């Protein structure tokens, strides 16, 4: 079973629209970490944010914001006033902090391709 | 400070050939990882090294071997390449194992096996 589900395979928006990328995760650990990475067309992976399971505060960084809700096991990412440069594949990922065999591994979702049109 | 570097950037192999992908990091990180990325599949962990001197299997280890040469370097070897190993390979490193530290990724190696 997928530990991280990104149900939206592709999203297209027009510049200046707001867009939310969904991420649902699954874990039995009480300690875990959630990440978002961006992969622009050039191919490299760029770290955007890390959240631990004990910190449910939402975070805002410029036009980016993240909504972490343990009750729904979701860690959604919103881009406000999108720009063409936001076009990329965005990955959500989970790392479990328990003592099991999955400790330390980073599990990625399949990614959401965001295209922002001018 | 180059971060994580990988060589080569591109490689074409014939079925049955062998090759080694090289990875080095200059951030004094303890943990290193190899992932493969296939279309629509996200990144999947092949092997990892929690610390110098240790290596362990990830989700998709079959057909690969690794060597943690020293704290800086972690190589991935394909002994007999198969078309199913056509993929983009990423090396990554993090400061500590199992602490939720951010992983820093290299630029990737695009491998095609004919």
Residues A4-55 have pLDDT tens digits of: 999 999 999 999 999 999 999 999 888 899 999 999 999 999 999 999 999 8
Number of neighbours of residue B47 by Cβ within 10 angstroms: 22
Q: Sheet containing B19-25: which strands, arranged edge to edge? A: B4-7, B19-25, B74-78, B64-68
Closest by Cβ to B45, choosing from A91, A106, A110: A106
Residues B95/B30, Cβ–Cβ less than 8 Å: yes
Task: Tell me how close the Cα of B42 comes to any Cα of chain A, in angstroms.
Answer: 4
Q: Which residues of B touch A91 (CB under 8 A)?
A: 42-43
Contact B103 A47 (CB under 8 A): yes
Residue A99 has pLDDT above 90, yes or no: no
Residue-by-residue DSSP string for B34-94: EEEEETTTEEEEEEEESSTT--EE-S--TTEEEEE-SSSBEEEEESS--GGG-EEEEEEEE
Per-residue pLDDT of chain B in tens (114 residues, 90 and over written 9): 789 999 999 999 999 999 999 999 999 999 999 999 998 888 999 999 999 999 999 999 999 999 999 999 999 999 999 999 999 999 999 998 878 889 999 999 999 999
């Amino acid at each position: 079973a997928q530990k991280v589900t990104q149900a939206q395979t592709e999203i297209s928006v027009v510049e200046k629209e707001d867009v939310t990328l969904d991420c649902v995760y699954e874990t039995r650990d009480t300690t875990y970490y959630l990440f978002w990475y961006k992969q622009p067309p050039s191919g490299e992976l760029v770290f955007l944010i890390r959240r631990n399971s004990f910190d449910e505060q939402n975070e805002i960084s410029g036009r980016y914001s993240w909504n972490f809700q343990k009750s729904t096991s979701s860690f959604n990412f919103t881009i406000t006033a999108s720009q063409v440069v936001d076009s990329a594949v965005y990955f959500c990922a989970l790392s479990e902090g328990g003592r099991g065999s999955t400790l330390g591994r980073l599990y990625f979702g399949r990614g959401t391709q965001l295209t922002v049109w001018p | 400070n180059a971060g994580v570097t990988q060589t080569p950037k591109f490689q074409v192999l014939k079925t049955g050939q062998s090759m080694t992908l090289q990875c080095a990091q200059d951030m004094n990180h303890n943990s290193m990882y190899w992932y493969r990325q296939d279309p629509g599949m996200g990144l999947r962990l092949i092997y990892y090294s929690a610390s110098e001197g240790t290596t362990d299997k990830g989700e998709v280890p079959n057909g690969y071997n690794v060597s943690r040469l020293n704290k800086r370097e972690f190589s991935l070897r394909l002994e007999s390449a198969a078309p199913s190993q056509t993929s983009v390979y990423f090396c990554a490193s993090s400061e500590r194992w199992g602490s939720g530290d951010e992983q820093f990724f290299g630029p990737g190696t695009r491998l095609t096996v004919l």
